[in-house]
Amino acid sequence: MSAPTTRPTDTGTTPDSAARKVPGRAIGFTLMTLLILFAGFWMQHQSELRDSSGTQVMPDDTVNVAGFRTDAFYLPDDALLGFVLVPAGSFIMGSNPVLDPMAYENERWSASRRQGSVELDDFYIGRFEVTIAQFRAFALDRQLAIGASMEGLPGNLPVSNVTWPEALAYARWLEAALLASDITPPELRQALGNGAHVTLASEAEWEKAARGEDGRVFPWGSERTDSFANFAGAGPIAVGSIPCPLCSYGLSDMSGNVWEYTRSPLQDYPYDSSGDETKLSGEPLWVMRGGSFSDQINNVRAAVRGGVGPGVRSPGIGFRVVISSQ
């Protein structure tokens, strides 16, 4: 858009009065020029600080974010390095449309039952989704090119645009790292020593962690609210940014932010993890849970089931890990 043109007009001013106004015009023009130059610089700078998805890009040193340990693979700085115990016991799995009118048919337990009861051993699950900083530590250690795509991104965002095998590879790497480290908490070391593994949650483990033992619709209860999760929005946010004091087991972002891979192949209920390997003919889909930042509230319920191919990369799909013996 061109600047407006001006021309002299007969205002009745004398040459002296006109001369007295010239310095003010010059100063105003100079200030306007400086403001335009500053605005142009600022807009260019901001465009350079955003990636193609609109996510704010920050310098690489932002992987050193508060609340995470740089000496512990960028895991959370708490007693169990961000892992939370989910006690053994049964829980209600699946959805009853009488209690949850948003339920989908693939959440039905069987032709005769809407919901079922599943018994699980205890396991540990990550309080947060795996972050960019955590995944970059793995990629850099293994000299994998996939880490380069995360350069400059905030370290506390959930990692996304990774495939299912890459997520599983991260879990195996973290298991080896924890076993080799002197700072691994005794409880986690004991679980790993007794045969547990760092892996993706099974579909049942994920759902129990999300909804607890009382069959709630959302991790925080049955109330429809946007107060406890990042959904119907423009992009992912830093893990744990939205407090959820009512959420099961104190976990964060089990609804929204990014979908989360599980280790379970997508199949009809009733849920049965035995013989999963025999159901992997062809190109199976893997269950993902929790919904993402771009989903509406019906897709961030605790029982929602999605399926994804193992080679898919998406800005709306990430993962969290568990330590499980099952």
Distance, in Å, from the CA atom of 89 to the CA atom of 68, rounded to the nearest integer, reads 31
Mean of pLDDT values over 263-290: 84
Distance from C-alpha of 123 to C-alpha of 280, rounded to nearest angstrom: 25
- % of the chain at pLDDT higher than 70: 78
Type of residue at 81: L
DSSP characters over 55-91: PBP--GGGGS-TTB-TTTTT-BSSTTTTEEEE-SEEE
Whether 54 is in a domain gets the answer no
Looking at residue 127, which CATH number applies to its domain?
Answer: 3.90.1580.10
Q: Say whether both 39 and 78 belong to one domain.
A: no
C-beta separation of 81 from 151 below 8 A? no
Task: Look at residue 3 and tell me if it is in a domain.
Answer: no
- 164 shares a domain with 16: no
As a whole number of angstroms, the distance between CA 262 and CA 305 comes to 10
The stretch 280-297 carries a mean pLDDT of: 90
Do 210 and 317 fall into the same domain?
yes
Beta bridge partners of 92: 117
**Contact in structure between 136 and 63 (CB atoms under 8 Å):** yes
Cα separation values, 101 from 97, 215, 254, Å: 5, 14, 20
CA angle 221/121/200 to nearest 5° reads 75
**Boundaries of domain holding 133:** 60-324
Contact, 292 vs 234, CB < 8 A?
no
Residue 41 pLDDT > 70: no
User: Both 203 and 104 in a single domain?
Assistant: yes
**CA-CA-CA-CA dihedral for 124, 128, 130, 132, to nearest 10:** -160
Stretch 228-245: mean pLDDT, rounded?
A: 97
Pair 64, 153 in one domain: yes
Q: What do you get for the CA distance between the two ends of the chain, in Å?
A: 65
User: Are 250 and 149 found together in one domain?
Assistant: yes
CA–CA gap between residue 269 and residue 250 (Å, rounded): 28
In a domain, 7, yes or no: no
What's the whole-number average pLDDT of the chain? 83
Least confident of 56-70, 131-145, 262-276: 56-70
Residue 202: the pLDDT is 98
| Residue 1 placed within a domain | no
Domain assignment present for 53: no
Question: pLDDT at residue 47 above 80?
Answer: no
Dump pLDDT digits (tens) for 155-184. 999 999 999 999 999 999 999 999 999 999
44 with 172, same domain: the answer is: no
Please tell me whether residues 222 and 178 are part of one structural domain: yes
| Domain-located, residue 65 | yes
In a domain, 150, yes or no: yes
136 and 202 fall within a common domain? yes
Same domain, 135 and 22: no
Q: Is the pLDDT of residue 45 over 70?
A: no
Specify if 286 maps to a domain.
yes
Number of domains in the chain: 2
* Mean pLDDT of all residues in 81-106: 97
Residue 151: predicted pLDDT: 86
Could you tell me if 65 and 40 lie in one domain? no
User: Which tokens sit at 203?
Assistant: 């579909």
Neighbours of 233 (CB within 10 A): 15
Q: Which residues have a Cβ under 8 Å from the Cβ of 316 and sit 6 or more positions away?
A: 160, 236, 258, 259, 292, 293, 294, 295
Q: How far apart are CA 243 and CA 252, in angstroms?
A: 7
Q: What is the DSSP string of 226-247?
A: SSSSB-SSSS---TT-S--TTS
| pLDDT of residue 281 exceeding 70 | no
Return the bridge partners of 324, or none: 197
d(CA 82, CA 237): 18
Tens of pLDDT, residues 135-153: 999 999 999 998 888 888 9
What pLDDT was estimated at residue 278?
A: 57
92 and 163 assigned to the same domain: yes
User: Please, are residues 69 and 81 in contact by the beta-carbon 8 Å criterion?
Assistant: yes
In this predicted structure, the answer to whether residue 213 has a pLDDT above a threshold of 60 is yes
Beta bridge partners, 124, equal 85, 323
User: Looking at residue 48, what is its pLDDT?
Assistant: 38
